[in-house]
Amino acid sequence: MKMKSFAKKGAFFCGVVVLVLAGGGGITGCKKAETTTSNKLVVWSFTDEIGGLVDNYYKPAHPDVTIEYSLTPTDQFPNKLDPVLASGQGAPDVFGLEDAFVRKYVESGLLLDITDVYEAAKDKILQYPVDIGSYNGKVYGMSWQATPGAVFYRRSLAKKYLGTDDPAVVQTYFKDFETFLATAGDLKTKSNGACVAVSAFQDMLMPYKAARAQPWVVNGKLVIDPAMEGYLDTVKLLYDKGYVGRVQQWSEGWFAGMQGKLTDERNAPIEVFAYFLPTWGLHYVLKTNAPETSGDWAMIPGPMPYRWGGTWLAAWKNTKNPEGAKELISYLTTDDAFLETYAKASGDLIDNIKVVDKIKDDFSEPFLGGQNHYAAFAELAKDVNGKLTQGTDQAIEALFLEATNAYVNGEKSKTQVIEDFKSQVNAQLGL
């Protein structure tokens, strides 16, 4: 998942791609060799990310395959994909799935079983993306990337308020949620209210989701894991105590905090100590939106291993070209030579452990003061849990975020917020 400059508007995406079988027979009356149906694939995508992979890597390695490519905006893509998968009319052969709705399709019964692709490479593939792409013991989606999350903090503020910018030491101030809250209080005290731990309380959602023991739905019933109640308590405290910048994630104020330009209602400057972001957050959020702060950042694991985003490739179950579809998925998600070349060129953390172990010590990120982000992310990815993701997550979490806002803003009590959340989930999803 990669975020371009339009992340400032809150749009984020993870690279959905669809490969569609071009129908029709051979071309008659042509002196050149006929192109068979099995050598034709059409690519649909809502991002140019996989388009680049196909154009720059797959096509040169597979010159006999003809690929037609088209781009569809992110918010329109599921509406374009759903009817053709259901009807089979113009249905794609292979498509990518963004994190927000990957499980919807994995659980749909409309995807090709690609367990054999996984089995051929399982000894070198990171497990959590496979868990997300699996259902009822079979693999339906695979990814070439891993997107573990971290905490990115300003080195200058760490030196100023903690006495050091050493990641190993700073991590001790963020080692768990309780310690994080204590550190947030210390930052406010030592800065006379000028320094907040994070700019938006929504930054804490992904780590708390990862801390759950159970997913949202168990045996057809909604479950509110204690970790999510802990999230409500934490963000309310952050907001009420003034430990947070009180801006919305993806807002102009959120980005202003990265740049050191956030101010309060009295126009007094606010220093934002840290941001909770995944792999792509470094390259496509921080570096893109705050280039002037290069060298003043570092990264640490933070209180909880978590993930955020990603892209999976899958195939339609009735594709007429299953072998061609599997070949493309296999190449983009498991091929050692391709993934090594791509990782070195892009800095993207891949899910091929064999390749990661080979190259991870060769990175140094100037934006992070020379820190080896790649090796750090490689370690974080090992502890990510992919088994909590479900097809109903997107709808449930949208309602949970609405409930959280009402609680944080003092519109409802915690008890009322939880009861209303349950009622809304039941009304919309029947859970």
Is 16's pLDDT higher than 50? no
Q: Are strands 297-300 and 221-222 parallel, antiparallel or unpaired?
A: unpaired
5-25+35-147+308-381 maps to CATH 3.40.718.10: no
The structure's pTM equals 0.88
pLDDT tier for residue 320 given thresholds of 50, 70 and 90: confident
pLDDT tens-place string over residues 148-204: 999 999 999 999 999 999 999 999 999 999 999 999 999 999 999 999 999 999 999
Is 97's pLDDT higher than 60? yes
Is 386's pLDDT higher than 70? yes
Of the candidates 180, 177, 207, 172, the residue with the CA atom closest to the CA atom of residue 196: 180
Both tokens of residue 197? 């731990």
pLDDT, average across residues 126-146? 97
**Mean pLDDT, the chain, as a whole number?**
89
Residue ranges of the chain assigned to CATH 3.40.190.10: 5-25+35-147+308-381, 149-305+387-429
pLDDT for the residue 38: 63
pLDDT tier for residue 61 given thresholds of 50, 70 and 90: very high
Show the 3-state SS of the chain: CCCCHHHHHCCCCCCCEEEECCCCCCCCCCCCCCCCHHHEEEEEECCHHHHHHHHHHHHHHCCCCEEEEEECCHHHHHHHHHHHHHHCCCCCCEEEEECCCHHHHHCCCCECCCHHHHHHHHHHECHHHHHHCEECCEECCECCECCEEEEEEEHHHHHHHHCCCCHHHHHHCCCCHHHHHHHHHHHHHHCCCCEECECCHHHHHHHHHHCCCCCCEECCEECCCHHHHHHHHHHHHHHHHCCECCCCCCCHHHHHHHCCCCECCCCCECEECEEEEEHHHHHHHHHHHCHHHCCCEEEECCCCCCECCCEEEEEECCCCCHHHHHHHHHHHHHCHHHHHHHHHHHCCCECEHHHHHHHHHHCCEHHHCCECHHHHHHHHHCCCCCCCCCCCHHHHHHHHHHHHHHHHCCCCCHHHHHHHHHHHHHHHHCC
149-305+387-429 maps to CATH 3.30.70.360: no
> Are the C-beta atoms of 133 and 102 separated by less than 8 Å?
yes
> Are the C-beta atoms of 44 and 92 separated by less than 8 Å?
yes
| CB contact set of 222 (below 8 Å; sequence gap of 6+) | 216, 396, 422, 425, 426, 431
pLDDT tier for residue 222 given thresholds of 50, 70 and 90: very high
Q: How far apart, in whole angstroms, are the C-alpha atoms of residue 171 and residue 151?
A: 9
pLDDT for the residue 369: 97
> Are the C-beta atoms of 41 and 93 separated by less than 8 Å?
yes
Chain-centre distance of CA 132, in angstroms? 12
pLDDT for the residue 4: 36
Buried b (16+ CB within 10 A) or exposed e, 205-224: bbbbbbbbeebbbeeeebeb
Q: How far apart, in whole angstroms, are the C-alpha atoms of residue 312 and residue 26?
A: 32
- Looking at per-residue pLDDT, the higher value among 43 and 352 belongs to 352
pLDDT tier for residue 27 given thresholds of 50, 70 and 90: very low
